[in-house]
Each structure stands twice: as structure tokens, then as C-alpha cells.
């Protein structure tokens, strides 16, 4: 800049001000040293010569510009601040004005900023905004008002500039400054844009937000937002102010959005937002900021549906219109995004115009163009994230679908890190919500997009600074069983290992590397914990030895982590190694009790079901010494209290996410711990221990744990009821026939009824209840499509994942931890009513078949032959097909027990070689004869012509019952000693109500339904279960997940 050129407006004077003053000219001032200049300033101050003072700064400006910043630093070192202090603290407003304007030119120096803060520059400047005493006597009232507005505008501009520097932060957050900005926003139209821009800058530091509330800034912003017109005026003379208003509206929306983002209460007129979307204004920035504001409103809303209705005027028609306009706004944003990707000026003609002055063209690659592109990307980002937040509402989802909403992936194409952070943060937030997990297509979409990002990260094409946020999303994703399958197909284990290695090659930050590695380990551990991945026999259609990740390599990796000193790594690695190394649990349960109890104790102490207790104890340490403490001194809630918390969450539509619990609990580790416990719960030898110590904490976890941990707790309960009961009964089939024909109370099979067996007549049933079914012609029960073999028990009900089908699981046999049951050790028992035939069918039915094996042999294994003897001959058919009639005593009318024990000399219960048939207390032994261990049809042959008659309480054990056990069964007249103690105990603990609360997420719903199905084998629970979740269960029947 030449020496005679004008200084910027910040100096407060024009080039010709003070002209004619003797002894002062621009050339002489420009030749002054900084000491001489400072002396001249002091002289002007001593003489109180404002004109001299102002011209000195005017004339020195070219020198300051040429020697920037050295000359300014020299002036500061020579204490020019003393003269500036004289100016901005002067009683005359004109002096203060010049002082303020000049001080602004020194804001770039930290030393100057520090000195101005010590000199209370802010308070002196704020005096300018107040009416000058005596002003009305010295000037016309109109001129005074104009001058006052000019000073207010100067103060607003100065405050806006000060907001760029942290040294001024405390002063800017003072009540006087915030009040002034509110006044400027409401009363000085020229400064509305400046005031809201200042609010945007101040609010960028979350620590400043509390002062907004104490100063009622939020209310002022809401009032301005609601009352300002956003529609383009018809009068051209109003366009200039309208342009400022639009910019101010954008800044206002941004500030309110920031307040809401950080959890500060801020009232927003939702109808205004709805109106802005409906009008689809030209301003890209306004739409972008409103999309951001509404995104944070919806994300923070306790009732999203109510929020939408308020935005749409409260009517269904208004909502349809609002969502239509929102979809159209999104479509417009996508079209612009596609054109910007092409970077073709011809395609961007509509975009290359000023939003306010539509006649003015914007040049590509100009700063104005770049700013508009930035707001276009911001609009796309927040609209996309907003729509994701709305999609879990089914009634909104189908409306948006009907309005042609599509292409919801474009946000992931953005590369601006600030926007990517919002996008990934939104995905992480949504994946952690139970209601989103119910929207399977949305979860799968997020999974696919996150995996694309993982691939980019492996290739180094993804910002390293956002890698942890990306991994957070994948970590939450990995909690869901369906996504665990997707991640395995993606080879997430190999990809993440590569990712860690490549990241470390680019970065030396040890702590960041640790956090990335723990996130990677969490993902890999959850994928490995999927039933099909950790247990080969659960895998459908795969080699039973095939697991994921590759076991040898993964275990080697885990061993290294387990030997480390970082507890976060050692806990997960140790738990997972314990899960994998099942052979440890082949020892007697007495030897494993301390290990299992220690795992359960650790789990209970760190479970997410303790989130409420841990949070309350952290907020109020006195609770730790209160009356509600367990044996370890931990504050704990009762099961009744936990159920109350669960129901309260449901009523208030609150949910607990994994991220939320990390400060107090160990969600990922606890899921692994329960994976192990649920596996052990399948084994008869561990059921007694878990029955004694684990039922209440498991139910408590179902109540208040995060959905993934609640899923594993429900799975453990269901597994405990699989092959009941608590005394190593090895009961693999139990048709109680207590009113239901096809319910297997052993929870192993899914029997299928053929024909129409009849309920027992009233007064004739067993146990003085409703137990008993009469098999008639063409009726029977098929136990399993391939026949039940007690040594090869189907594993179809050992796990329940939303995407599994019974067709896929029915062929998978269970793999016992110990040796499988001996094929020749089993017991079949049932009660039957004699005589088997009645007057109606006595001539037609000549053979009454109790059991038949599966095709192709289809041996009629146990039957009564009436063809050779009208009294009936009990007959067995051995494994070779040889018919073996037995001599048995005559039976009296009424109920009798049949028990069929197959044994060998290896049996500890009944060591003999062959088969023994019991009729009540009487028995007959057939040496060296065994019936085929393959049970297909019960109550008839597969042709339906040989109905057995009336039976009840049909059981098949995968072991030999002892003589005492059979004798005890034959003398019982009630159900007190039946092998469903575990299910009955759960019934007394209100398990039906608890399990019914967690049907909100498909993953937990599948396991809770499995547990509820097992609990429903207790007849007293069936009505209760239906009342608790019948409607929800009917809704789940329409789920797209099998």
C-alpha cells in the first residue's frame, strides 16, 4: 500500500481528516521511527488533540502494513498501549471510537490482546453503546439515534472480531456483552448478522454454553428465529436487510443447534423449521443450518413422533406435507451433490448464482463458490443424517418411501472431516439404539457402509483422526448376531489386523494405537463369540471343525494379549480363550465350581445391568454404605427394583446403549462372559450350580442390561431349561400332553402333530389335572424329521438368532463337552390308560403302537398286539427288526406307568446287558436285546392305523433310570418332583414378565422368545406369557427376519 493510500475503516478516520494542521503531513509521519511516532501520540494525548491523534494513525498505516508485524510489535514494546488506553477510556465518545478502532488493528498480537484484557478494554468499549449524557442538548434527536446505532454496530463488529481470540473469551461471556448482543439482535437491524455470527463463534466452545442459559440468550435466539421473515420480499428496497436477516437466521439456527447438541435446554419454534423446509428457500446456508438444528432436535427428542407432529402443525395431513417437502429438499440436495461431483460449469449453472442476488454470477474456484459448496455439503450431510434418525419410526418410514425417498448413502461420499465426524457419530448413535436394531435393513445398510470405510482405511484413504469413531460404530455393529455373520464374510479379522499394522506405520502415537487396538479386539471378540463362529456344530451346512476367526492364529494372538499388563486387553483375551478351550470344563463340576463362580462374580460386578447402581453410587457415595448392599459391599437393587427400572425405561422410551455404559461397566467383556456361561448352561452337570447362584442376576440382566448382554442372559436361561433338570436328568424329550400335544418340555424338539388326537375326558386325566391325550386313527406326533437319537440330540433349540430358520438348524446335532451318551443307554417312559382300546375301535384296532423309528426302517419299536390275544401282548422290536413278545401281568382299568430301560454292563444305574420293561412296579428283563435308538413317531405308526390310546407324561432320557427312580415315578400322584424345577423356579421369579420386556430388539427378542417358549411348558405360565407379550409376539410374526 502506498503511503498516501487510505487506512482501513478500523483506524476511524479518512485520508483527508485534519488536513491543514500545521507541522503534520503523511511523509513526515511515515519517516518516523516507532519511538518518534509514540512520542507524537503522547503529545496528541497531552494536548487532548483528537484530530492529531487520528491522523497519526492514519498516516502510519502504510508503514505498519509494509513492516507487518514487526512495526506493530515495536510499537507495543515502546508502550503505545498507554496512548491507546487514553483514547478508549476517554470521556468523549469520539475519542473512544477512535481508540476502539485503532485497538482492533492490534488484535493480531497476543501481547496486545493480553494488555487490552488487563486494561478492561471490553468495559470501556461497551460504554460506547450507551447514550451519551447531554447528547440531546448538543445534537438533534435523530442524529443522536443514528450515532448511537453506529456505535452499537462498531461494538458488535469489534466483539465479533474479538471472538476469534481465546484471550477475550471470559470477557465475551460476561453478562453485559451477552445482553448487548441480544439488544443488538432485537433492536439494531444492521447488526443482526454480526450478533448471530458472534453467538456462533462463542458457542463453538462448549464450555461457554452455560452462560447462554443464565443470560437467557436461548430465549432471545428463539424469539428472533420465530419472528424473522425468511421469504424473499417483493420490495427491492428491503433486499439488503432481508439478506442480513437470512444470514442471521442461519447463525441463530446454528447456535441453537449447538446448545441442543450439548444437552442445554433451548426452546425452538418447530413450526418455523417446518415452514422453512416447506418453502425451500434459495439460501443453501439457511437450509443447511436448519437441517443441522432439526437433526439435533430430533436426535435429542424424548418423543420423536411428537416432535415431528409439532413441526408439521399437529395434523396427519400436515405431517405428510412436511415429509414430502423434506424428501423434495433431500432430492434437490442430492442433485446438487451429483453435479458438484462432475465439476462441470455447464451442469452447475443454477448453482453458480448468489443465493440472495440471483442475478449475480459466482465464479468457479472463487472463495464464494467454495463457501457455497461447503454449505451444500453441510446440507447434504445433515439432511441425510436427519433422515436416518427418522427412519426407525415405521409410520414415517413408509410415508417417506411413498414420497420416493432414496439414495440415502450419499453422505458417506463426503470427505470433509467435520462432516464425516457427524456422519459416523450419527451411525454410532443409531446403532446403539434398540429401536434401530428392529430396522434390519437400516442396520445392514450401515454395516455395508462402515465396511466400505474400513476398506478405505486399510488402503490409507480414510482420515486417521476419525478411525476410532469408525471403529466405535463397527464395535457396536459387532454386538448383533446378523452383523457378526456379515463381518465374518467380510473377513473382518484379517482386515482389522492389516488396518492396525498400516495405521502404526503412519502414526507414532502410542496411546491412540492402544485405543485402536482395543476397539479392534472388541470387534474380533464379538464376531468370534457368535454361536456359529465359536461352535462349529452350530454352523449351518459347514464342517463342524470350521470356526471363525481361524482358531489357531487367533488363539496365538489372544495368548499374547492375555500375557500383557493392560487389563482391557487381558480381560477380553482371557475370557475368549476360556470360551474357546472347552476341554477345561470336561472335569467334574466340583472341580470347576470355583472357576465358574469367580467368572459369575466378575460378570455381576461389571454387568451393564448394574449401570443404574454404579451411576447412583458415583453420584452419591453414601449409597455404598447403605442397607442395599451385597456380600461384597456393592450397592445393589433387588430384582423387583430392576423390573421397575425396566418398565420405567419402556414407558419413558429410554434405552441404554453400550457407549453410555462404558464409564461404569464392561459391556463387551460381559457379553463374552455370558457366552461362556450360556454354553455351560447346556451341560447337565453344571445346571445345579447355575440354578443355585445365577438365576436372579441373569433375570436382572434381562431387565436392565444393554440388549446384547440381555440377549446372552436370556440365552443362558433358555439353555438352562434345555435338557432339564438340575440333577443331571439328561431328559431329551418330554411330552407332558397337559393340554398341548406338540410341546416338548425338555425344550429339545419341535414335535409335529398329525391328525386330531383327542383331549382326555374330564375326570380321567392324570395328576388330577388335564394331563392326557388319546391318540385316535390317523393321529400321532412326529418327534423329529430324522428321528430322535439320544446320543445325537438335535441342537436346533440351543441358540436363536434372528436370521436362523428351523430348516437350517434341525440337522445340527449337539456336541457334548464330555463323551456323548452311550447309544444303548436310554429310558422311555409314559403313563397310559388301560384298556388302550374302547368300544368304538376295539374291532378296528388290532395293534396299538407307542413308538416307531424313522424311515426307511420304521420299526414299530413298542406296541401291544391284539391280533394274537384279545388281552393284548406287549411286544418290542429290536434293532435288527426281530419281533419279541413279552409275558406281562394283566392290568386293571386305569392309569399305569410304562418304563423301557435300555442298558449295558457299563451303566452305573442299572448294569445289565439288554432291555427291561416296567409296568408299574413289575418288570421283565430281556438280555442281549436292544431297541433301535431312533424315535420318530409317538402314539401311532406313521400310517395312522394303530393308535395307542390315551397316554400322558411321555419322556425319553439319554441315560438309564435306576430302579429307585422308576419305582418313585410309578408311585407319584402329583407333579412336585417332576424334572422342571428350574422352569418352576423362574415362574415364581416373574420371569415371564421380565423376558417379555426385552422383545424390542430382534437379537434379544429371539433368545427371550426361546426362553419364554421353554417357560411356557409350565402350564400355569401360558396365560401370563400371552398377556405379557401376546400382542408383541403377533407383531413379530410379520418380521422380515425368519
DSSP 501-564: HHHHHH---HHHHHHHHHHHHHHHHHHHTSHHHH-GGGSTTS-TT--SS-HHHHHHHHHHHHTS
Give the Cα-Cα-Cα angle 401, 404, 406 (nearest 5 degrees). 85
Rounded distance between C-alpha atoms, residue 216 and residue 266, angstroms: 10
What pLDDT is recorded for position 547? 85
Rounded distance between C-alpha atoms, residue 275 and residue 160, angstroms: 30
* Cell numbers found for residue 241: 436487510
- Tell me the H-state helices in 662-763: 667-681, 684-693, 695-704, 707-720
Provide CB contacts within 8 A for 295, sequence distance 6+.
Answer: 257, 382, 385, 386, 389
What pLDDT is recorded for position 9? 45
- Average confidence (pLDDT) over 261-277: 91
Q: Is the N-terminal amide bond of 835 cis, ω within 30° of 0?
A: yes
Q: What is the pLDDT of residues 401-433, one digit of tens each?
A: 999 898 899 999 999 999 999 999 999 999 999
Residue with cell 435393513: 441
Q: What is the pLDDT of residues 469-483, one digit of tens each?
A: 999 999 999 999 999
> Taking 60 as the threshold, does the pLDDT of residue 626 lie above it?
no
Whether the Cβ atoms of residue 868 and residue 942 lie closer than 8 Å to each other: no
Q: What is the pLDDT of residues 310-368, one digit of tens each?
A: 999 889 999 999 999 999 999 999 999 999 998 887 788 889 998 888 889 999 889 99
Rounded distance between C-alpha atoms, residue 250 and residue 227, angstroms: 14
Q: What are phi and psi of 465, to 5 degrees?
A: -65, -20
b/e string for 803-813 if b means 16 or more Cβ within 10 A? bbeeeebbebb
What pLDDT is recorded for position 629? 61
Nearest to 959 by CA among 783, 813, 823: 823
> Taking 60 as the threshold, does the pLDDT of residue 397 lie above it?
yes
Query: Beta strand 731-735 with 949-957: parallel, antiparallel or unpaired?
Result: antiparallel
> Taking 80 as the threshold, does the pLDDT of residue 485 lie above it?
yes
Q: What are phi and psi of 459, to 5 degrees?
A: -85, 0
Query: Beta strand 949-957 with 773-775: parallel, antiparallel or unpaired?
Result: antiparallel
Number of H helices, E strands in the chain: 46, 15
> Taking 60 as the threshold, does the pLDDT of residue 965 lie above it?
yes
Q: CA dist 754 to 299, 854, 1032, Å?
A: 52, 15, 29
- Average confidence (pLDDT) over 222-236: 90
Q: CA dist 432 to 134, 394, 659, 955, Å?
A: 64, 18, 7, 44
What pLDDT is recorded for position 386? 97
Q: What is the pLDDT of residues 650-663, one digit of tens each?
A: 888 888 999 999 99
Q: Is the N-terminal amide bond of 69 cis, ω within 30° of 0?
A: yes
Residue 353 pairs with which residues in a beta bridge? 361
DSSP 231-252: SPPS-GGGHHHHHHHHHHHHHH
Q: What is the pLDDT of residues 366-378, one digit of tens each?
A: 999 999 999 999 9
What pLDDT is recorded for position 923? 96
CB atoms within 10 A of CB 219: 14
Percent of the chain with pLDDT over 90: 74
Whether the Cβ atoms of residue 96 and residue 89 lie closer than 8 Å to each other: yes
> Taking 60 as the threshold, does the pLDDT of residue 240 lie above it?
yes
944 secondary structure, DSSP code? S
Rounded distance between C-alpha atoms, residue 630 and residue 700, angstroms: 14
> Taking 50 as the threshold, does the pLDDT of residue 19 lie above it?
no
> Taking 60 as the threshold, does the pLDDT of residue 723 lie above it?
yes
> Coil, helix or strand for 955?
strand
Lowest mean pLDDT among 48-57, 144-153, 419-428, 900-909: 144-153
Whether the Cβ atoms of residue 729 and residue 684 lie closer than 8 Å to each other: yes
Alpha-carbon dihedral sign for residues 383, 386, 391, 395? negative
* Cell numbers found for residue 410: 450419499
Q: What is the pLDDT of residues 521-566, one digit of tens each?
A: 999 999 999 988 888 777 555 565 678 999 999 999 999 999 999 9
Whether the Cβ atoms of residue 245 and residue 191 lie closer than 8 Å to each other: no
Give the Cα-Cα-Cα angle 245, 248, 253 (nearest 5 degrees). 125
Band of pLDDT at residue 282, cut at 50, 70 and 90: confident
Nearest to 737 by CA among 754, 763, 760: 760
- Average confidence (pLDDT) over 651-680: 94
Band of pLDDT at residue 809, cut at 50, 70 and 90: low
Give the Cα-Cα-Cα angle 638, 641, 644 (nearest 5 degrees). 155
Mean pLDDT over each residue of the chain, to the nearest integer: 90
What pLDDT is recorded for position 34? 86
> Taking 80 as the threshold, does the pLDDT of residue 596 lie above it?
yes
Rounded distance between C-alpha atoms, residue 178 and residue 198, angstroms: 10
Rounded distance between C-alpha atoms, residue 758 and residue 735, angstroms: 15
Band of pLDDT at residue 730, cut at 50, 70 and 90: very high
- Average confidence (pLDDT) over 452-464: 94
What length is written for the chain? 1042
What pLDDT is recorded for position 496? 96
Whether the Cβ atoms of residue 523 and residue 474 lie closer than 8 Å to each other: yes
Whether the Cβ atoms of residue 783 and residue 770 lie closer than 8 Å to each other: no
CA 790 to chain centroid, in Å, comes to 41
Rounded distance between C-alpha atoms, residue 753 and residue 780, angstroms: 6
Lowest mean pLDDT among 349-353, 802-806, 859-863, 1024-1028: 802-806
> Taking 90 as the threshold, does the pLDDT of residue 142 lie above it?
no
- Average confidence (pLDDT) over 258-276: 92
Rounded distance between C-alpha atoms, residue 675 and residue 532, angstroms: 12
Rounded distance between C-alpha atoms, residue 451 and residue 489, angstroms: 11
What pLDDT is recorded for position 805? 60
Query: Beta strand 780-782 with 752-754: parallel, antiparallel or unpaired?
Result: antiparallel
Q: CA dist 492 to 82, 453, 462, 500, 548, Å?
A: 66, 12, 17, 12, 10
Q: Is the N-terminal amide bond of 856 cis, ω within 30° of 0?
A: yes
Whether the Cβ atoms of residue 950 and residue 830 lie closer than 8 Å to each other: no
DSSP 488-500: HHTTHHHHHHHHH
Q: What are phi and psi of 335, to 5 degrees?
A: -60, -45
Q: Is the N-terminal amide bond of 428 cis, ω within 30° of 0?
A: no
Q: What is the dihedral of CA 1015, 1020, 1021, 1023, to 10 degrees?
A: 140
What pLDDT is recorded for position 140? 61
Q: What is the pLDDT of residues 841-893, one digit of tens each?
A: 888 999 999 999 999 989 999 999 999 898 999 999 999 999 999 999 999 99
Whether the Cβ atoms of residue 681 and residue 687 lie closer than 8 Å to each other: yes
What pLDDT is recorded for position 129? 85
What pLDDT is recorded for position 623? 54
* Cell numbers found for residue 349: 449453472
Rounded distance between C-alpha atoms, residue 911 and residue 897, angstroms: 22
> Taking 60 as the threshold, does the pLDDT of residue 21 lie above it?
no
957 secondary structure, DSSP code? E
> Coil, helix or strand for 889?
coil
> Taking 90 as the threshold, does the pLDDT of residue 632 lie above it?
no
Q: What is the pLDDT of residues 767-800, one digit of tens each?
A: 988 899 999 999 999 999 889 999 999 988 888 8
Query: Beta strand 731-735 with 847-852: parallel, antiparallel or unpaired?
Result: unpaired
Q: CA dist 405 to 190, 332, 448, 1039, Å?
A: 40, 11, 19, 22
> Taking 90 as the threshold, does the pLDDT of residue 694 lie above it?
yes
Residue with cell 487389563: 567
Q: CA dist 61 to 1, 9, 101, 408, Å?
A: 9, 11, 13, 54
Alpha-carbon dihedral sign for residues 632, 633, 636, 640? positive
Amino acid at each position: 500500500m502506498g503511503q498516501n493510500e487510505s487506512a482501513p475503516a478500523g483506524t476511524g478516520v479518512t485520508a483527508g481528516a485534519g488536513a491543514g494542521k500545521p507541522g503534520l503531513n503523511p511523509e513526515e509521519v511515515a519517516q518516523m521511527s516507532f519511538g518518534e511516532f509514540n512520542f507524537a501520540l503522547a503529545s496528541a494525548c497531552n494536548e487532548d488533540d483528537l484530530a492529531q491523534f487520528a491522523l497519526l494513525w492514519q498516516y502510519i498505516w502504510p508503514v505498519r502494513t509494509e513492516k507487518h508485524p514487526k512495526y506493530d510489535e515495536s510499537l507495543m514494546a515502546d508502550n503505545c498501549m498507554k496512548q491507546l488506553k487514553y483514547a478508549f477510556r476517554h470521556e468523549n465518545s469520539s475519542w473512544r471510537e477512535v481508540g476502539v478502532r485503532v485497538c482492533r488493528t492490534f488484535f493480531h498480537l497476543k501481547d496486545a490482546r493480553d494488555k487490552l484484557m488487563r486494561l478492561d478494554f471490553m468495559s470501556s468499549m461497551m460504554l460506547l453503546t450507551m447514550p451519551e449524557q447531554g447528547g440531546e442538548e448538543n445534537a438533534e434527536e435523530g442524529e443522536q439515534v443514528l450515532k448511537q446505532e453506529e456505535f452499537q454496530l462498531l461494538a458488535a463488529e469489534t466483539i465479533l472480531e474479538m471472538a476469534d481470540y481465546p484471550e477475550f473469551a471470559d470477557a465475551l461471556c460476561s453478562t453485559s456483552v451477552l445482553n448487548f448482543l441480544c439488544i443488538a439482535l432485537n433492536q439494531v437491524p444492521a447488526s443482526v448478522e454480526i450478533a448471530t455470527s458472534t453467538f456462533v463463534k462463542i458457542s463453538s466452545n462448549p464450555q461457554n454454553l452455560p452462560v447462554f442459559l443464565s443470560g437467557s440468550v436461548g430465549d432471545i435466539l428463539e424469539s428472533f428465529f420465530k419472528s424473522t421473515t425468511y421469504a424473499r420480499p417483493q420490495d427491492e428496497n428491503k433486499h439488503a436487510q432481508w439478506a442480513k436477516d437470512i444470514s442471521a437466521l442461519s447463525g441463530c439456527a446454528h447456535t441453537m443447534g449447538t446448545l441442543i447438541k450439548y444437552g442445554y435446554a433451548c426452546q425452538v419454534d418447530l413450526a418455523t423449521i417446518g415452514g422453512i423446509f416447506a418453502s425451500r428457500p434459495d439460501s443453501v446456508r439457511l437450509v443447511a443450518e436448519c437441517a443441522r438444528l432439526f437433526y439435533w432436535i430430533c436426535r435429542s427428542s424424548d418423543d420423536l413422533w411428537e416432535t415431528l407432529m409439532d413441526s408439521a402443525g399437529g395434523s396427519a395431513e400436515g405431517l405428510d406435507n412436511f415429509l414430502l417437502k423434506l424428501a423434495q429438499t433431500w432430492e434437490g440436495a442430492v442433485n446438487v451433490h451429483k453435479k458438484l461431483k462432475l465439476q462441470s460449469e455447464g451442469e452447475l449453472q443454477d448453482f453458480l448464482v448468489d443465493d440472495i442476488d440471483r442475478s449475480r454470477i459466482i465464479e468457479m474456484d472463487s472463495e464464494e463458490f467454495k463457501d457455497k459448496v461447503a454449505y451444500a455439503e453441510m446440507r447434504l450431510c445433515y439432511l441425510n443424517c436427519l433422515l436416518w434418525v427418522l427412519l426407525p419410526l415405521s409410520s414415517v418410514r413408509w410415508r417417506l418411501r411413498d414420497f420416493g425417498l432414496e439414495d440415502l448413502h450419499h453422505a458417506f461420499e463426503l470427505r470433509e472431516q467435520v462432516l464425516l465426524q457427524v456422519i459416523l457419530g450419527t451411525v454410532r448413535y443409531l446403532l446403539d439404539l434398540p429401536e434401530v436394531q428392529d430396522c434390519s435393513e437400516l442396520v445392514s445398510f450401515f454395516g455395508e457402509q462402515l465396511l466400505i470405510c474400513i476398506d478405505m482405511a486399510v488402503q490409507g484413504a480414510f482420515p486417521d483422526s476419525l478411525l476410532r469413531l469408525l471403529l466405535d460404530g463397527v464395535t457396536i455393529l459387532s454386538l448383533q448376531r446378523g452383523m457378526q455373520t456379515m463381518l465374518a464374510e467380510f473377513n473382518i479379522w484379517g482386515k482389522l489386523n492389516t488396518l492396525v499394522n498400516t495405521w502404526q506405520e503412519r502414526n507414532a502415537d502410542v496411546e491412540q494405537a492402544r485405543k485402536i487396538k482395543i476397539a479392534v479386539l472388541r470387534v474380533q471378540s464379538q464376531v468370534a463369540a457368535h454361536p456359529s463362529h465359536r461352535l462349529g456344530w452350530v454352523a449351518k451346512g459347514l464342517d463342524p471343525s470350521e470356526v471363525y476367526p481361524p482358531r489357531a492364529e487367533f488363539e496365538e494372538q489372544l495368548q499374547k494379549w492375555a500375557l500383557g499388563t493392560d487389563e482391557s486387553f487381558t480381560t477380553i483375551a482371557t475370557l475368549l480363550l476360556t470360551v474357546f478351550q472347552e476341554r477345561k470344563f470336561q472335569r467334574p463340576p466340583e472341580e470347576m465350581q470355583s472357576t465358574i463362580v469367580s467368572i459369575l462374580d466378575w460378570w455381576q460386578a461389571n454387568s451393564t445391568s448394574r449401570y443404574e447402581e454404579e451411576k447412583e453410587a458415583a453420584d452419591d457415595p453414601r449409597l455404598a454404605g447403605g442397607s442395599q448392599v451385597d456380600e461384597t459391599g456393592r450397592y445393589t437393587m433387588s430384582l423387583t427394583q430392576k423390573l421397575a427400572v425396566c418398565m420405567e425405561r419402556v414407558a419413558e422410551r429410554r434405552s441404554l446403549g453400550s457407549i453410555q455404559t462404558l464409564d461404569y461397566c464392561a459391556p463387551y467383556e460381559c457379553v463374552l462372559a455370558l457366552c461362556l456361561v450360556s454354553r455351560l448352561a447346556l451341560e447337565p452337570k453344571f445346571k445345579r450350580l447355575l440354578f443355585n447362584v445365577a438365576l436372579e442376576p441373569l433375570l436382572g440382566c434381562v431387565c436392565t442390561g444393554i440388549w446384547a448382554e440381555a440377549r446372552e442372559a436370556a440365552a443362558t436361561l433358555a439353555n438352562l431349561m434345555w435338557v432339564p433338570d438340575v440333577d443331571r436328568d439328561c431328559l431329551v424329550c418330554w411330552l407332558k400332553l397337559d393340554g398341548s400335544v406338540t410341546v416338548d418340555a425338555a425344550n429339545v424338539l419341535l414335535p409335529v402333530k398329525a391328525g386330531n388326537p383327542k383331549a382326555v375326558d374330564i375326570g380321567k386325566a392324570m395328576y388330577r389335572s388335564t394331563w392326557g391325550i388319546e391318540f385316535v386313527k390317523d393321529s400321532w406326533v412326529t418327534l423329529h424329521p430324522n428321528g430322535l437319537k439320544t446320543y445325537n440330540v438335535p441342537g436346533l433349540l440351543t441358540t436363536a438368532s434372528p436370521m436362523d430358520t428351523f430348516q437350517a438348524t434341525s440337522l445340527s446335532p449337539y456336541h457334548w463337552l464330555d463323551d456323548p451318551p452311550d447309544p444303548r443307554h436310554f429310558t422311555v417312559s409314559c403313563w397310559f390308560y388301560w384298556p388302550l382300546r374302547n368300544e368304538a375301535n376295539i374291532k378296528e384296532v388290532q395293534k396299538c403302537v407307542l413308538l416307531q423309528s424313522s424311515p426307511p426302517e420304521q420299526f414299530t419299536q413298542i406296541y401291544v398286539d391284539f391280533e394274537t390275544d384279545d388281552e393284548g401282548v406287549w411286544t418290542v422290536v429290536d434293532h435288527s427288526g426281530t419281533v419279541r413278545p413279552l409275558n406281562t401281568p394283566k392290568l386293571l382299568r386305569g392309569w399305569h406307568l410304562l418304563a423301557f430301560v435300555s442298558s449295558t454292563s457299563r451303566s452305573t444305574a442299572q448294569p445289565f446287558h439288554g432291555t427291561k420293561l416296567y409296568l408299574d412296579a413289575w418288570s421283565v428283563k430281556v438280555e442281549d436285546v436292544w431297541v433301535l435308538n431312533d424315535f420318530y413317531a409317538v402314539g401311532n405308526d406313521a400310517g395312522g392305523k394303530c393308535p395307542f390310546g390315551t397316554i400322558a407324561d411321555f419322556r425319553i432320557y439319554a441315560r438309564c433310570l435306576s430302579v429307585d427312580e422308576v419305582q418313585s415315578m410309578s408311585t407319584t400322584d402329583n407333579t412336585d418332583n417332576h424334572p422342571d424345577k428350574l422352569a418352576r423356579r423362574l415362574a415364581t421369579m416373574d420371569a415371564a414378565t421380565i423376558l417379555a420386556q426385552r422383545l424390542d430388539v430382534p437379537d434379544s427378542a429371539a433368545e427371550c422368545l426361546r426362553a419364554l417358549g421353554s417357560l411356557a411348558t409350565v402350564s400355569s405360565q401360558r396365560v401370563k406369557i400371552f398377556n405379557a407379550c401376546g400382542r408383541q409376539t403377533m407383531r413379530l410374526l410379520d418380521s422380515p427376519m425368519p
